Chains A and B, each alone.
Chain A
Amino acid sequence: MRKFTKSLGALGLAAALAVSVLAVPSQAATNNSITVAEVTAGGGGVQTIFSPWINSGSISHHAMFRALFKADANLTSVKPDLASGYKYSKDGKTLTVTLKSGIKWSDGKDLTVDDVVWSMNSLLRVAKSNAIYVNAFKQIVGSEAVNGTNTTTMSGITTKGNDITISLKAPVNTLIPVLAQFMILPKHVLANEDILKLDTNNYWKNPVVLGPYKVGTFSQGNFITLVPNDKYEGSKPIIKEINIIVSSNLVADAKSGKLDYFTTNDPDTIRAMSSVSTFKSAPLDVLFYRYLVINPTGPFSNVKAREALKYAIDWNKLVPAIYGQQGKVINSGVASGMSFHDSSIPKYKYDKAKAAALLKEANFDFSKTIRLRTYNQSQPAVMLILTAVAQQLTEIGMKVEFLPWTGDATTELWTNRNYELALKGLSAFNVGEWFAEYSNPATFEKLLGAQPKYAALNSQLIQSTTLRDTGKILTDLQKLEQQDLYKLPMHFLKQVVFISKNISGTPTKWGNPLYVYQNNIASWSAN
C-alpha cells in the first residue's frame, strides 16, 4: 500500500511538472504583435472574414478595407479617404466624387473608378447586405433595373477621368455617411465570381485589399494574422502582426495577457473586467436599441392594451438593476436627451393601476396566454430582465408564457408570428433606421400590413437637407409612433471597448464597433 501510494505521488508530481513545462506563457502586447478577439459564427475559432457589405466595424475591417470617405467616431462627419473630395449640385440630386490617383490594391493593381462603380452596382446584386447601403443605393437613378438576375448597371452612375457622378431620384442626406461605410472591393478579382453569393466566396480567406494591413496567415477554424500591406500608400503600421482569435473566456484571456483588445455589451464580462488592472476601458454610446415587438393581432389589437404595457413594467428599476450604467431606459426611437426628442411623449412611469384601467378600457381578454419570446437565450441578463417583465405582467392579471424561440428567429418573428410580445434588438446607423423598420416589406409590414404613412415620412427624412426639416419629420414620426405603439422601447445598451494599457495611439473617442471610423490603427503602438 505504502509502495503504491509513493508511486502514485511520484506520478502526480511528474504530471504537474510536465504540465508546468508545457504551460503557455502569457504574451503581452508588443510592437511585434497584438491579439484581438472577434465573434464569429461556425463554432471553434475564426472561420472567415465577414463581408463588410454585411457588417463592418471589426478590427479586420478597420485594418484591411477602405471606403471613399472616413467617418469620425460619431459617424456623421467625414474626411476624404479614397476620394480626394466631393461636390453636390444645388438641388442635392447629383453627387460628384473625385477618386485619388496612385492608390494600389495589395496585389499591386491600381485602384480605378471601375472598382467603385462595380462595387456600387454589385451591392444591389448580392443576396445579403446591410440595409443602410441598399436603402441609399436604391435612390440612385436606374437602380430598379439592377438585381441578382442580370448584369445591368445603374444608369445614374457615370464616370469621367477620376470623377464619379451619382444621379439621385431625390436628395439623400445620408449618402455621404453611408459612402463612408461602404468598402470598395476589387473588380479585377471579383467580377467573374458569383456575386449573388459574394459573402461566402473564397476571396474572404485572403482578400485583396487597400488598407494598412492584409492577411498574412489564415488558419481556418483557429486564427487570422494580419501583417502590414506593403502597397498601402499611407504611414506604415507600427504593429507588425495583429492576431485575430475567438476567445471562449474574454476575462480569463485578458487577465493572462493572451488578449489585448475586444468589445462587449455583456454586463457580466464588463463587471468582471473591472478587476483586470492591465486593461483600460471606454464606454461607447451606440444606437443599440432593445425593444419588444407587439403583435397587434389577438389580445393587443386595441391600442389601449398596447399603451397599458407602457405603464405595466417598471423599466426604471429593472434596467439599472440588471445593466447598471450600461443600460439607458428609453420611451421612443428618439430618446430623451437626443436631438429632436419630442418632449410631449409621456414618460410612462410605472403605474399598475393605470395599466389595469387601460386594459379594462380595451376589453382585454385575460383568458388568453401572452406568449413572450426571445432569441437571446444565451444571454443571462436578457433572460433575467424578461423573466421580470413576465412577472410584472402577471401582477396585472395577464397569463404569461416566457420561452425562447425554438426555430429560426426571423421566420418566427415575421412569418410564423406565434407570439404576442417578442424581444428584438437593433444596432442602428442613425435614428432614421428605427423608423425605417416600420415600412420594411420584409419585416414589419408582414406583421402590421402596409404602412404608407411611415413610408412617406421615412422617404422625406432621407431627402431632407436642413436640420429644421429633419427635426420636423422626426417629430412627426414620433407622434405617429405614439398613435400606434407597435414597438415597446426598453433601453439602449452601451458597448464597452477594452484595450490593454500597453497599447497607445488609440483614438480619444471610440465609435460604434459595428461601423468603421477613424481609429488610427496604423498608428497604434505597444510598449
Chain B
Amino acid sequence: MVSFLIRRVAILVPMAFTISALIFFASRLSPIDPINAMVPPDMASDSANLEQLREELGLNDNIILQYFHWLKNIATGDFGYSLQSGEKISDILALRMPATLELVLSALILSTLLALTLGLFAGAKKGGVADKLSRVLGVIGIAIPDFFIGLALLNVFAFRVEWLPTGNRVAPGQVTLWDRLPNLILPVSTLTIAMLAVLIRYTRNSVLDTLNRDFVKTARSKGVPEWRVLYSHVFRNSLGPVMVLLAFRLPLLVGGSILVETVFQWPGIGTTIIAAVTASDYPVIMVVSMIIAMVILVASFLVDIIKSILDPRVRLGGGN
C-alpha cells in the first residue's frame, strides 16, 4: 500500500508543475492588455500614471521571472491582488468560498442521499415505481441543462407565484441561516436535480450489476433476509463506481457551478470566475484555475485510494 501511495504521489508533483506552467503561460499569451482592461483609455488620467501602474503590477518584468515569482508567491500563500478590484485574492476566495460551499455541499449531500436511496430501490425492484421515477428523473436531469432548470424554477416560484426570492444569497435584514433559507431553496434545488440524474443512473446500474453476482445468489440461497442482502451485500458492493463519481465532484466544491450561480446572482466562486474572465483579471483567473486543477488532481488521487481499498487487486496491479 505504501509503495502504491508513493507511486501515485510521485506522479502528482510533476503534473502540478506542468499544469501551473500551462495556466500561467496560457493566460499571459492572451492579447488582452490587463492595463487596458483595468483602465479604459477614455478613463486614463495620464499615460505616465498607466506606466507607473504597469510597473507596480510587475507587468514589465521578464515573463519567465514573472512565472517563478508567481509560483513562489502561490506556494507561500500569497495569491496576489485582483486587477479589477485591487483586493487580495485570498480575501476574495475567503469571502466567496463559503457561498459556493454552502450551495454545492447542500446540493451534493441532498443529491447523494436521494440518488443512493432511489437508485437502490430502482435497482432492487426493476420495473417498479422507483425504477420508473429514477429513469424519468435521470433523463430530465441529463437532457435539460442546469441553467434552464434554474430559470424554469425561478420563473414559477419567484416570478409567478412570488414564493421565493429572485436571487442573491443574503438580503438586507437577513441575519441567521433560517432567515436566509428561502434564498437557498431554488439554487440548491437546481443543482440537486442536475447532480441527481447521473448519480441515480450510476447507482441503479451498479445495483443491477451487483444483483447478478454469485455472492448475492449465494446469500439469498442461504436464507439471508432480503433487506440484509440489499444492505450488506448489494448496496455496499455497488458503492465502488458511485464513490468514484462522487470523488470527481469534489472540484465543484471549489469551482462552484458557474451557470447556476450566475442565474441566481449567487456571490460564489462561479460568478467570480465569470467576472474575472470578463474583466481580463488574469491573476484571479490563474489562481482559481490552479486551485481547481489541484483539487482535481487530489480528487483523482483519492479515487485511486478508494479503489485500492475497495479492490485490493488495483494496488497490486491486477485489477480493472
Chain A interfacial positions (CB closer than 8 Å to B): 1, 4, 19-20, 22-24, 26-27, 33, 35, 41-45, 47-48, 54, 123-131, 134, 147-149, 194, 196-197, 199-202, 217, 219-223, 225, 241, 243, 245-249, 252-253, 255-256, 258, 407-408, 410-411, 414-416, 437, 440, 442-443, 446
* Residues of chain B contacted by A20 (CB below 8 angstroms): 163
* Residues of chain B contacted by A47 (CB below 8 angstroms): 85
Asked if B38 and A128 sit within 8 Å, CB to CB, the answer is yes
Using CB atoms, name the residue of chain B closest to A244. B172
Asked if B85 and A411 sit within 8 Å, CB to CB, the answer is no
Asked if B45 and A442 sit within 8 Å, CB to CB, the answer is no
Complex: A104 Cα to B279 Cα, angstroms: 37
* Residues of chain B contacted by A127 (CB below 8 angstroms): 38-39, 44-45, 49-50, 52-53
Known A19-B163, A43-B272, A248-B265; 11 more pairs at CB < 8 Å: A24-B164, A44-B96, A128-B38, A131-B42, A148-B46, A149-B52, A202-B87, A220-B95, A245-B168, A411-B36, A442-B41
* Residues of chain B contacted by A411 (CB below 8 angstroms): 31-33, 36-37
Asked if A408 and B264 sit within 8 Å, CB to CB, the answer is no
The reply on B86 being an interface residue by CB < 8 A is yes
16 A–B contact pairs at CB < 8 A?
Answer: A27-B173, A33-B172, A42-B271, A44-B266, A45-B169, A126-B49, A127-B39, A128-B39, A147-B48, A196-B52, A200-B85, A223-B168, A256-B162, A410-B36, A411-B33, A440-B41
- Chain B: minimal CB distance from A152 (Å): 12
Complex: A249 Cα to B52 Cα, angstroms: 41
Complex: A126 Cα to B274 Cα, angstroms: 27
Complex: A247 Cα to B181 Cα, angstroms: 18
Chain B interfacial positions (CB closer than 8 Å to A): 31-33, 36-50, 52-53, 56, 82, 84-87, 95-96, 99, 129, 154, 157-159, 162-173, 181-182, 185, 261-268, 270-272, 274-275, 278-280
Complex: A411 Cα to B32 Cα, angstroms: 7
* Residues of chain B contacted by A4 (CB below 8 angstroms): 129
Q: How many A-B residue pairs have CB under 8 A?
A: 199
Complex: A407 Cα to B170 Cα, angstroms: 33
Asked if B185 and A148 sit within 8 Å, CB to CB, the answer is no
Knowing A42-B275, A149-B52, say if A222 contacts B42 (CB, 8 Å).
no
Complex: A411 Cα to B279 Cα, angstroms: 12
Asked if B168 and A246 sit within 8 Å, CB to CB, the answer is yes
* Residues of chain A contacted by B164 (CB below 8 angstroms): 19, 22-24
Asked if A197 and B266 sit within 8 Å, CB to CB, the answer is no
Complex: A107 Cα to B35 Cα, angstroms: 34
- Chain B: minimal CB distance from A39 (Å): 12
Using CB atoms, name the residue of chain B closest to A130. B43
Complex: A322 Cα to B135 Cα, angstroms: 45
* Residues of chain B contacted by A128 (CB below 8 angstroms): 38-39, 43-45
Knowing A19-B185, A127-B49, say if A35 contacts B38 (CB, 8 Å).
no
Asked if B172 and A252 sit within 8 Å, CB to CB, the answer is no
- Chain A: minimal CB distance from B227 (Å): 18
* Residues of chain B contacted by A19 (CB below 8 angstroms): 157, 163-164, 185
Complex: A1 Cα to B133 Cα, angstroms: 13
- Chain A: minimal CB distance from B27 (Å): 14
Complex: A481 Cα to B159 Cα, angstroms: 48
Task: Choose one: B52, B84, B159, B274; the contact of A148 (CB below 8 Å).
Answer: B52
* Residues of chain B contacted by A202 (CB below 8 angstroms): 87
Asked if A221 and B43 sit within 8 Å, CB to CB, the answer is no
Complex: A446 Cα to B44 Cα, angstroms: 14
Complex: A120 Cα to B159 Cα, angstroms: 47
Complex: A256 Cα to B43 Cα, angstroms: 38
* Residues of chain B contacted by A253 (CB below 8 angstroms): 166
* Residues of chain B contacted by A258 (CB below 8 angstroms): 165-166, 171
- Chain B: minimal CB distance from A436 (Å): 10
Asked if B267 and A222 sit within 8 Å, CB to CB, the answer is yes
Complex: A437 Cα to B265 Cα, angstroms: 36
Asked if B37 and A408 sit within 8 Å, CB to CB, the answer is yes
Complex: A194 Cα to B47 Cα, angstroms: 17
Asked if B275 and A126 sit within 8 Å, CB to CB, the answer is no
* Highest count of chain A CB atoms <10 Å: which of B31, B33, B45, B157: B45
Asked if A148 and B49 sit within 8 Å, CB to CB, the answer is yes
Using CB atoms, name the residue of chain A closest to B99. A221
Complex: A124 Cα to B181 Cα, angstroms: 47
Asked if A443 and B38 sit within 8 Å, CB to CB, the answer is no
* Residues of chain A contacted by B95 (CB below 8 angstroms): 220-221
Using CB atoms, name the residue of chain B closest to A414. B41
- Chain A: minimal CB distance from B47 (Å): 7
Task: Choose one: A24, A134, A194, A222; the contact of B45 (CB below 8 Å).
Answer: A134
Knowing A44-B169, A124-B46, A408-B36, say if A22 contacts B41 (CB, 8 Å).
no
* Residues of chain B contacted by A247 (CB below 8 angstroms): 166-167
Complex: A33 Cα to B271 Cα, angstroms: 28
Complex: A126 Cα to B182 Cα, angstroms: 42
Asked if A245 and B172 sit within 8 Å, CB to CB, the answer is yes
Asked if B163 and A222 sit within 8 Å, CB to CB, the answer is no
Please give me the 5 A-B residue pairs with the lowest Cβ-Cβ distance, nearest first: A200-B86, A44-B267, A43-B271, A221-B267, A442-B41
* Residues of chain A contacted by B170 (CB below 8 angstroms): 45, 219, 222-223
* Residues of chain A contacted by B267 (CB below 8 angstroms): 43-45, 220-222
- Chain A: minimal CB distance from B113 (Å): 15
Complex: A217 Cα to B171 Cα, angstroms: 12
Asked if A41 and B279 sit within 8 Å, CB to CB, the answer is yes
Knowing A199-B86, A223-B172, say if A249 contacts B45 (CB, 8 Å).
no
Task: Choose one: B32, B48, B270, B272; the contact of A408 (CB below 8 Å).
Answer: B32
Complex: A255 Cα to B161 Cα, angstroms: 11
Asked if B40 and A410 sit within 8 Å, CB to CB, the answer is yes
Using CB atoms, name the residue of chain A closest to B159. A252
Knowing A44-B267, A126-B45, A148-B48, say if A245 contacts B171 (CB, 8 Å).
yes
Asked if A222 and B171 sit within 8 Å, CB to CB, the answer is yes
Asked if A24 and B181 sit within 8 Å, CB to CB, the answer is no
Complex: A274 Cα to B210 Cα, angstroms: 61
